[in-house]
A and B are shown apart, each in its own frame.
Chain A
């Protein structure tokens, strides 16, 4: 994940600081209270039997943070969840990963975890969709299903007894992702939701927000469509006709740049916010590559500050 540095002029710097100040002011008090740095005291209100978890320590009867992050409580367990950390898988997470190795009966995937994830041949749908036992011929043909460096969408199945992380791809919506681009953001920017697959019909784009911070923006694929046979290397003339349509490509690039801008600002990535940012750039006639410039960066921060202030005002009016 390469950080992007922007050179802001004086006016833009002042505007950005004003927007960030407003974002701080509209943030709920509980959020700022939950944020801790090393050696901060975590208030536990003199409760008994507090379990001190990861990132905490006992100091003269007080609970003190040993990491920078956010305090989380689960019943009597108190722990600090760091933000700039590797992805921690949970069962049921939808993730996007890249195949790095083919081993007997399995693929190894890189999913921004401290170890590689494993996708068993028996844990995924065969390309022909038939439900049957896997044979030795299937094992020999594993490279024709997924080869090295392929991008795959899968679901976290759980940890096996040997400590390895297993995935599954049993639904038709899982599988290989083609004709698009993969973006990598910090995992804490992607919240767990009911829906991580988004088909934006208006733009003919599939957007997949992986819980591990891998985000895929690509051309829409009709589920159940037969994959084209890649018999032989395609010539240039035929390859040109197979390219993504220009309008769809522009939409994909705008969505990708929206994700880049929002992640650079540290905003939580939701499909609504991504689409809103994308449409704001389109309606303002901002060029696709200018979305990564300083001016749109500041505009996005200002727009988000205004949106959250409006949201807070509505809540106050409702009371």
Chain B
């Protein structure tokens, strides 16, 4: 991305200090959010999300697999993020590997919980078909199509919308006499189980610029940040994950302020997202 002149940087910092950012937003206001579902017919669920000029495509694929030995009663979920070279010239070749890996790990922490599987936003037990033998494996892929800052929040939104669009085929298991044999499974082509996404959190990133912090930073504003804290908050106001970026240290009291602000902002954001998902699903059915 092209750099900014000293005067432009000063103008951006002044805008954040005076609560009038370069596009007129206040510190805690988001850019316009646009949601579209069912963009990839081959996937079990997919979504395209635009947050200002940032654009993300997320897809969910489900495959039958074998549960892990450590957790025979739970399914498996994997999250991958890829940054398209068209999003930013820096992403050409291997330029986006570090950012993609960082985004993937952040999303895994927020959505999948710890190693024990407890606290996961997705109910992994609902993915089990036959205990210890057959389960659903979910593969969640996020593709950054256009990059204008705030990628982590947009990715979390895209994954949440894609999961709400996901339909997992219904599986009928034939009971076999010998319990140690591989069970026969019949995957239905017509019946689908809808995913419960009420527990999937949203991520609110608070970017610190000067003495203030803002939500939904553009790439220009991110270039002026000293640090950024991403808080993952679910519908009930509980924190599911917390990550920090940027080189400058933060005072603990500032972090507590950020967390309370993130909880407050996330309630409005989740309501907005729910209405956008409902509108997108209605529009998809209308086609």
Contact = CB atoms under 8 A, between A and B. Distances in A.
Interface of A: 2-7, 9, 98, 110, 147-151, 176-182, 218, 236, 239-240, 242-244, 246, 249-250, 253-254, 256-257, 260, 287-294
Kindly list the 8 A-B residue pairs having the minimum CB-CB distance in the complex, ordered from nearest: A288-B24, A178-B7, A243-B14, A149-B3, A2-B53, A289-B24, A7-B34, A289-B25
6 contacts: A150-B6, A181-B8, A240-B17, A244-B11, A254-B24, A256-B23
B211 interface: yes
B210 A236 contact: yes
Contact of A149 (B5, B146, B211): B5
B7 A180 contact: yes
Given A5-B50, A236-B210, A289-B29, A110 B2 contact: yes
Nearest to A293: B32
Interface string B260-281: 0000000000000000100100
Given A181-B22, A257-B24, A151 B14 contact: no
Interface of B is mostly: loop
B13 interface: yes
Interface in B40-64: 50, 52-53, 55
B73 interface: no
Say what secondary structure dominates the interface of chain A.
Answer: mixed
A289 B2 CA distance: 24
B148 interface: yes
B210 A151 contact: no
B250 interface: no
B254 interface: no
Contacts of B29: 289
Nearest to B29: A289
Given A98-B2, A150-B6, A293-B32, A181 B24 contact: no
Contact of A7 (B5, B15, B23, B32): B32
B18 A292 contact: no
A2 to B, nearest CB: 4
B10 A178 contact: yes
A260 B22 CA distance: 12
B2 A149 contact: yes
Interface string B92-106: 000000000000000
Given A6-B32, A6-B34, A151 B20 contact: no
Nearest to B210: A236
Nearest to B55: A5
B7 A218 contact: yes
B185 interface: no
Contacts of B21: 253, 289
A236 B211 contact: yes
A244 B55 CA distance: 32
B23 A150 contact: no
B4 interface: yes
Among A260, A288, A290, chain B packs the most CB atoms within 10 A around the CB of: A288
A14 to B, nearest CB: 15
Most interface-central of B4, B146, B276 (chain A CB within 10 A): B4
B22 A256 contact: yes
A88 B210 CA distance: 40
Nearest to A147: B6
A253 B143 CA distance: 32
A213 to B, nearest CB: 14
